[in-house]
Structures are given as structure tokens and as C-alpha cells.
């Protein structure tokens, strides 16, 4: 095999490894997140519902369209999710004083507890995942990950 064929083969193999790493990392994060958030605060919630709670925000009253945009879902999809979260006691829904057509959502005390637990999980996960990286490795990783994320965001 000549030099250019070896380089092409090595490049293909590296890209397959990156594909496996991206897919595996994504799946591992979801699995670990589901396991770590399976506690008394989040009992009965799906990971999608937890992420909806995160999108609502800690001390905010957000219009439904803002939360839908944060989640990149339709208003109809968010309405279904919010209905479930209202019934479970994690989200409050009210009408805006200035425009009664505008529906605002906010977290209940229970919802804020879930959000704090979720944020703590993410802080601990990142601290542990990056613990063995030098400052330079962490910077290079963050720069490369930002480029990969920008690509995926542009595909949405």
C-alpha cells in the first residue's frame, strides 16, 4: 500500500472511531443522566420532562413560545409536555397580565428542586469528565467540541 492509500485508510479508521465515540458518548450521557436523576425528586419524570423543566428556567415566567424555541419543539409538542408537568405539580401555567392571549410557564417549588438536581448532576459530570485533562487539553477539547456542535446546530 502506498503512502496516500495508507493515509486514506487511517483517515477512514479515525472517522469511524470518532463516529463511535460521538454516538457512544451521547448514549452514555443519557443513560447516566437517567440513572442519576432517578431519585425521590424526579420520581415519575422522563428525561424529556426533566429537560422541559430545565428549559422553563429557575426563577422565570416564560412565554410558551420561548420555552418551545429553547427545546427546538413545536408549541403543540410543548403544550402536551407542559400539561403533563402541570398535572404532576412541577410547572405552573398562567396568563400574562398585559396580554391574556400569552401563556406563561414557571416552575413550582418541586420543579425548582428538579432543576437544581439536574444542574448539580451536570456540574459533577463535567468536573469528573475533565478532571484528568490539562488546561491546554481542556481548551482544545472545548474548541473542537464547539465546532462539532456548530455543525450539528446548522443541520437542525
pLDDT for residue 74 is more than 70: yes
pLDDT for residue 80 is more than 70: yes
- The three cell numbers of residue 112 are 425548582
Where residue 1 falls among pLDDT bands split at 50, 70, 90? low
How confident is the model over 123-147, as pLDDT tens digits? 998 999 999 999 999 999 999 999 9
pLDDT value, residue 133? 95
pLDDT value, residue 113? 92
Sheet holding 62-63, edge to edge: 62-63, 103-107, 91-95
Higher pLDDT, 120 or 86: 86
Segment (H or E) for 103? strand 103-107
pLDDT value, residue 32? 83
Least confident segment among 3-7, 87-91, 106-110, 132-136: 3-7
- 3 state DSSP class of 105: strand
pLDDT value, residue 131? 95
- Cβ neighbours of residue 102 under 8 Å, at least 6 residues apart? 63, 95, 96
pLDDT value, residue 11? 87
Domain assignments of the chain as residue spans, ordered by start: 37-155
Neighbours of 57 (CB within 10 A): 18
Residue range 37-155, CATH number: 1.10.10.10
- Cβ neighbours of residue 48 under 8 Å, at least 6 residues apart? 81
Distance between CA atoms of residues 98 and 96, nearest Å: 6
Whether the Cβ atoms of residue 124 and residue 104 lie closer than 8 Å to each other: no
CA-based torsion, 132, 137, 143, 144: positive or negative: negative
Per-residue pLDDT, averaged over 46-60, amounts to: 89
pLDDT for residue 54 is more than 90: yes
pLDDT for residue 38 is more than 70: no
Distance between CA atoms of residues 10 and 43, nearest Å: 47
Indicate the pTM of the whole model.
0.76
Amino acid at each position: 500500500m502506498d503512502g496516500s492509500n495508507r493515509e486514506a485508510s487511517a483517515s477512514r479508521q479515525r472517522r469511524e472511531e470518532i463516529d463511535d465515540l460521538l454516538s457512544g458518548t451521547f448514549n452514555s450521557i443519557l443513560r447516566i443522566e437517567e440513572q442519576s436523576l432517578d431519585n425521590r425528586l424526579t420520581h415519575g419524570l422522563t428525561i424529556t420532562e426533566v429537560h422541559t423543566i430545565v428549559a422553563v428556567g429557575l426563577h422565570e415566567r416564560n412565554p410558551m413560545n420561548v420555552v418551545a424555541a429553547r427545546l427546538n419543539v413545536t408549541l403543540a409538542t410543548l403544550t402536551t409536555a407542559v400539561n403533563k408537568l402541570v398535572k404532576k405539580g412541577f410547572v405552573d401555567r398562567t396568563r400574562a397580565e398585559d396580554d391574556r392571549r400569552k401563556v406563561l410557564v414557571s416552575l413550582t417549588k418541586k420543579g425548582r428542586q428538579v432543576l437544581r438536581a439536574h444542574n448539580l448532576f451536570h456540574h459533577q459530570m463535567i468536573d469528573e469528565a475533565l478532571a484528568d485533562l490539562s488546561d491546554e487539553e481542556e481548551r482544545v477539547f472545548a474548541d473542537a467540541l464547539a465546532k462539532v456542535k456548530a455543525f450539528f446546530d446548522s443541520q437542525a
